[in-house]
Chains A and B, each alone.
Chain A
């Protein structure tokens, strides 16, 4: 199918996908769709019960949380070739804990998470590769979050010059 070929072509530009064999690459591509987005377009909101994993192919997507009296705080941006919405791969998450908004016009790949979970169950080799990749992504996000948490630019009042 031309559409799947188009998706495969996009995925092949991404380093991680280059490590997959043809069978696995095709499998993931078959359960993906491409979505053009405009600046300020919402992909999902906090509380949504949708079930996809996203990869930014072009553009930038901001992840945000709404804080009463503060408004929407953007705590991360997914840049080109970055994945977001990873919590769909874990079986326990039921709804989105953050919102995702396109910050500029772009192209997003959307992977059907239910079908991905099923594919991983059926093919443990693929399952292992996917989970390993996700573990890396989550680890890296955790480090970013920790650095944001310690607020390295926050300065306390000091007495000396």
Chain B
């Protein structure tokens, strides 16, 4: 189906699902390292993908607090599952990365090598919540007064192929966070998956160029209204919500709320939530030195405010109790983040709820705090 219609940035067209395969080939030809969702050992990961069939075709996920299952439901769609523990932050902000290597010659340290951490990624299947998380991390890693060169070099080059969510999981609450299920902007191409076709919205010139020349048809009004209906249903179906009215002020005014202590008795301080959270950005740096002390590698690794040593300094630990560390995490995410970066730090993806072994649900905890503060 070749069409005379010219593709523009902002156009929405429809493609046969197999055309996505051609799109992936195009991306590879353009030097992108393509990463996307795949099923691996009964779990969902974001890894290298080569073709359409690498995607979790026919899968759905079942999620609840402390519960995650991947099922092969046998339907015909590629993106009906809701993402698992991994998020895209591992690519822009790698969990472990070398900053530089030093070598000692004649008792004198010198840089041994330049670590070029620039990678050109194509992200396939970015959800609205995940895209908003990337935008939130952009504000943390790329500022006027300081920019992380690793993050920026990857972020500037990344191709984002995003996907609207039509079947949210039980732990999703992006609708109440105003971060989904619909992808609004900041993408190169956005897909809405219907039964037979993908609707594709062109978000940028780069997206337009990659798509240009591939067969497409105009999106019919039936297709568009199906997509709209699907998105509306998705938003309605969400089982969880977070009331964000005056939330930062509420949290900062209730740092002494007894509920923190209550949570502190359940929280394991395992740091799962910070690992799976797509906006958490804390990191540590270590010297990986050889035994003869002649070479050292400065390595940046993910860190977590739940780690006991996180706030340790000469004189002691400023957050020795689990309760204080949990409060730090949540009061940062929902309380002080806006003052730092202009938005809340949470995108409602629900990962912290799904992957918490103690089943702690922040939407429930905040709701309890608000209730008790009212009475």
- B315 A158 Cβ-Cβ under 8 A: yes
Bound: A114/B255 CA distance, A = 53
Fill in one digit per residue for A124-161: 1 if any B CB lies within 8 Å of its CB, else 0. 00000000000000000000000000000001101110
- CB-defined contacts of B313 to chain A, threshold 8 Å: 158, 160
**B74 contacts the other chain (Cβ, under 8 Å)?**
no
- A156 B312 Cβ-Cβ under 8 A: no
Which A29-50 residues sit within 8 Å CB-CB of chain B?
none
- CB-defined contacts of A160 to chain B, threshold 8 Å: 309, 312-314
**B246 contacts the other chain (Cβ, under 8 Å)?**
no
Give the tally of cross-chain contacts (CB within 8 A): 14
Q: Select the residue from A155, A156, A158, A159 with max chain B CB neighbours within 10 A.
A: A158
- CB-defined contacts of A159 to chain B, threshold 8 Å: 312
- CB-defined contacts of A158 to chain B, threshold 8 Å: 312-316
The residue on A at minimum CB distance from B312 is A160
Bound: A87/B314 CA distance, A = 40
The residue on B at minimum CB distance from A157 is B314
- B309 A155 Cβ-Cβ under 8 A: no
Total B residues in contact with A, Cβ cutoff 8 Å: 6
Bound: A13/B316 CA distance, A = 46
Bound: A155/B315 CA distance, A = 5
**Interface residues of chain A: helix, strand, loop or mixed (majority):** loop
- CB-defined contacts of B312 to chain A, threshold 8 Å: 158-160
Fill in one digit per residue for B305-338: 1 if any A CB lies within 8 Å of its CB, else 0. 0000100111110000000000000000000000
Bound: A159/B316 CA distance, A = 10
- CB-defined contacts of B316 to chain A, threshold 8 Å: 156, 158
- CB-defined contacts of A156 to chain B, threshold 8 Å: 315-316
Bound: A159/B312 CA distance, A = 9
Q: Write the nearest CB–CB distance from A155 to chain B, whole angstroms.
A: 6
The residue on B at minimum CB distance from A160 is B312
The residue on B at minimum CB distance from A158 is B314
Bound: A106/B23 CA distance, A = 94
Q: Write the nearest CB–CB distance from B313 to chain A, whole angstroms.
A: 7
The residue on B at minimum CB distance from A161 is B314
6 inter-chain pairs at a CB distance below 8 angstroms, sorted by A residue, are A155-B315, A156-B316, A158-B314, A158-B315, A159-B312, A160-B312
Chain B residues engaging chain A, CB cutoff 8 angstroms: 309, 312-316
- Give me 11 other A-B pairs in contact (C-beta within 8 A), A155-B314, A155-B315, A156-B316 excluded: A156-B315, A158-B312, A158-B313, A158-B314, A158-B315, A158-B316, A159-B312, A160-B309, A160-B312, A160-B313, A160-B314
Cβ-closest 7 pairs across A and B? A158-B314, A155-B315, A160-B312, A155-B314, A156-B316, A158-B312, A160-B309
